[in-house]
Amino acid sequence: DIQMTQSPSSLSASVGDRVTITCRASQSINRYFNWFQQKPGKAPKVLIYGASSLQSGVPSRFSGSGSGTDFTLTISSLQPEDFATYYCQQTYSFPITFGQGTRLEIK
Amino acid sequence: EVQLVESGGGLVQPGGSLRLSCEASGFIFSRYWMSCVRQAPGKGLEWVANIRQDGSDKYYVDSVKGRFTISRDNAKSSLYLQMNSLRAEDTAVYYCARIEFHGSGSADWHFDLWGRGTLVTVSS
């Protein structure tokens, strides 16, 4: 199974900050990789697919990069509604696996 | 409105069975691969199963193989997850999700639509 490891596991930041979350795959997954945001009590929502494509309707302050084993999610200027948990996911091979999550909290 | 609505969750004893349903509306259900994802209380996301548009291909996480069966009825725009031999570690919110292919490869996909989830609690 492909292990997905996110860092950090939690992060405190302020509105307006630039934030980067990273995800590392245990083997190369090309660009078969997605980022999700989840708020408490809600279903996850896709932000970035194919490592760097912005899902329709997602603000442009979100961006993704990477290929192979190392990926990043960047939020260029944090907004109050961005405080949530973020998950990475690989679709390269079954079983599909997610990272453990990064909880983004208000400083 | 484009949506997925899960139902069928509840409290079940260890060793018991439960059948979850997910009803789709607002889109042509038969055109999409579908998936089930779960989330144990306070924990992360865990993929459970995928099913092809016509039900001919199914994939499962090892921990549910032989116990869970994913199926669909395209005439009813519905996805099902039959869960047997339930264990305490199956306790979770179960989501159904629609798969959108964004490229030409079989791995070029993402979940673009999720239901609100249904809670399954396995406890005596």
- A101/B110 Cβ within 8 A: no
- B112/A91 Cβ within 8 A: no
B76 at interface of A, judged by CB pairs closer than 8 A: no
Cα B10 to Cα B123: distance, rounded to the nearest angstrom: 10
Q: Which pair of tokens denotes residue A89? A: 């996911």
Read off the pLDDT of each residue in B83-98 and give the average, rounded to a whole number: 98
**Which SS3 state, helix, strand or coil, does residue B54 take?**
coil
Distance of CA A72 to the CA centre of its chain: 7
Is 90 exceeded by the pLDDT of residue B72?
A: yes
- Give A-chain residues touching B50 at CB under 8 angstroms: 94, 96
Query: Chain A: residue nearest B64 by CA?
Result: A95
- A97/B102 Cβ within 8 A: no
**Which SS3 state, helix, strand or coil, does residue A107 take?**
coil
Is 90 exceeded by the pLDDT of residue B105?
A: no
Is 90 exceeded by the pLDDT of residue B103?
A: no
Residue B74, pLDDT score: 98
Residue with tokens 């949530």: A84
- A93/B108 Cβ within 8 A: no
B57 at interface of A, judged by CB pairs closer than 8 A: no
Which class for B118: exposed (0-12), middle (13-18), buried (19 or more C-beta within 10 A)? buried
DSSP codes joined into one string, A17-34: --EEEEEEESS--TT-EE
- A95/B59 Cβ within 8 A: yes
Distance from CA of A68 to the nearest CA of B (A): 14
Side-by-side strand order, sheet with A70-75: A4-7, A19-25, A70-75, A62-67
Per-residue confidence at A61, pLDDT binned at 50, 70, 90? very high
Q: Judge contact between A84 and A38, C-beta under 8 A.
A: yes
Question: For A2-60, what is each residue's pLDDT tens digit?
Answer: 999 999 999 999 999 999 999 999 999 999 999 999 999 999 999 999 999 999 999 99
Cα B45 to Cα A83: distance, rounded to the nearest angstrom: 18
B61 at interface of A, judged by CB pairs closer than 8 A: yes
Query: Chain A: residue nearest B45 by CA?
Result: A98
B118 at interface of A, judged by CB pairs closer than 8 A: no
Question: For B10-45, what is each residue's pLDDT tens digit?
Answer: 999 999 999 999 999 999 999 999 999 999 999 999
Cα B84 to Cα B81: distance, rounded to the nearest angstrom: 10
Residue B6, pLDDT score: 98
Quote the Cα angle for A29-A35-A36, to 5°: 140
